[in-house]
A and B are shown apart, each in its own frame.
Chain A
């Protein structure tokens, strides 16, 4: 789709703007009827927070700038984080339920000013449901409202694709391995080549040692012997570093290094990851099936492995039932084990709504469950949250059959 129009064709005509306005009225009234309160977070946001949550990749697709006071700021690249900040401002992290909605402009850098399906400036219409009493019901409701909005805007045919990070986390927890490995694998979920490499490594932990520098191994051994004698790996590490005439400075502490060394040392002594477990994880991430057959397919993978994740699978089936009750039939929607959208803050159900008119690479809407975001922003408690945002320009483009 992108190639059909150049940036110069981006519609700025009053008719396009008016059509967007009419579409927004339809969508926001659906949100309002469902009890979502409209909010309008600031357009200019602290870059710091976004960089900490999303990382340096952000700079490649966001307008980050320094103001005359020297503060690093950005034009918001999405509204989930600003909405979460606003929720925290209002309610703290006490877990008070809140339904918030918005229809606001966001900015993302696009090469050469962008294209119709990827404008650098567009409006997101979204809903965020914090601390719902019934999370699975909230997931179904958020998805259903998104689909309802898209249909009400006039799009006849759209498709869905879904994933579930909850099942992945349940799998990791149920497979026997050190907690440290679980954290690493969870982090690598969003980087498949690194994930596969990590699996390979965990199957042969003795190979770690070969790639580690000799002084490191010696230090680890010394720290371990010392720890056995005095129970103080940090002191041992300090002596080792002093003996080599290296000074300690900066914010990273000896405790951290000792902890990391203990972890590496434990890796070397750990029984390797069972190859069957590695195969299971790999097969799960490659799994692609219509949603109605997903849990059966996963149970098939688990057979003979002794791994049990019934609670997570039941939760998935329950959600299918709830969304059907809400009027959205997910049974044909493709489910992929490796589908997690691009943000590390997603923790559970994730979905994207697609139209063949603008293509799979440009979803009309996307959302999911992100229980860790509140905690990561506030440093306080984690709070269940489910949200979704519609790319309104793309939606209008799809409604008009791909012509502005």
Chain B
């Protein structure tokens, strides 16, 4: 970020879909109008009431990366995406405010007929037997590699202490879509995916483990700890924060 750009506060906002609509509505409620500048389909924008702020409309999945690199000061995106893309998120990112929308739980789900498995510790036992019988590790289909690896290794998000129930006898297979179908298709034995109501999981014969909620995620307003905040930009940040009430 060069110095002239550094004089302006850059806010990254999802460019489409429910997340964009909810973000726009929440800002509007606080008297802040998010608007695109120039071309209606353009990716640059402004906050009409705050002349010092530039808005970047980008896809929700890219916002975490921009925040990590410090290329934008503030961003609105899901905590799941932040924690997945920034393994040391607590050092790189300041979580300013949960926004009350974009709720999704990242969960570990196994086929419902695995009646011997309802906890992580059951899973590790079953995985040991699986390794002996099949000669390979159980496969977990997911697009959340980092969250899966951290949680399976015993890391817990939020205020929970580190868990003793580590699961190590598994492998990740990357799944970029329709993850819930992977077990039935024989591509993986279990999955880590997001769910809001659980109905897709149930329809696919899957069940969430008792201690299988990795993260209760929602959209957050976050600040990059790498982006340069001078006094003026910090004041702008506080101004935005003061106006938003989820």
Contacts and interface: CB of A to CB of B under 8 A. Distances in A.
Interface in A183-219: 183-184, 187, 191, 193-194, 197, 211-213, 215-216, 219
Contact of B128 (A51, A55, A184, A254): A184
A191 B114 CA distance: 25
A171 to B, nearest CB: 20
A241 B116 CA distance: 12
Contact of B113 (A52, A187, A194, A257): A257
Contact of A256 (B130, B152, B165, B170): B130
B188 to A, nearest CB: 8
B168 A215 contact: no
B128 A191 contact: no
A228 B152 CA distance: 38
B116 A249 contact: no
A106 B163 CA distance: 32
Interface string A45-62: 000000110011101100
Nearest to A194: B164
A304 interface: no
Most buried by A among B165, B168, B183: B168
Interface in B60-112: 111-112
Contacts, number: 96
B189 A249 contact: no
Interface stretch (B11-19, B43-51, B132-140): B132-140
Nearest to A211: B119
A59 B116 CA distance: 29
Nearest to B149: A56
Contact of B183 (A60, A241, A249, A261): A249
Contact of B205 (A56, A193, A237, A246): A246
A379 interface: yes
Interface residues of A, number: 40
Interface of A: 51-52, 55-57, 59-60, 183-184, 187, 191, 193-194, 197, 211-213, 215-216, 219, 237, 240-241, 246-254, 256-257, 259-261, 263-264, 379
Interface of B: 111-116, 118-119, 125-126, 128-130, 133-138, 145, 148-149, 152-153, 164-166, 168-172, 183-184, 186, 189, 205, 210
22 contacts: A51-B137, A51-B171, A56-B170, A59-B145, A59-B149, A59-B172, A183-B128, A193-B164, A213-B210, A216-B115, A219-B115, A246-B113, A248-B111, A250-B184, A252-B114, A252-B130, A252-B138, A253-B133, A256-B130, A260-B129, A261-B116, A379-B135
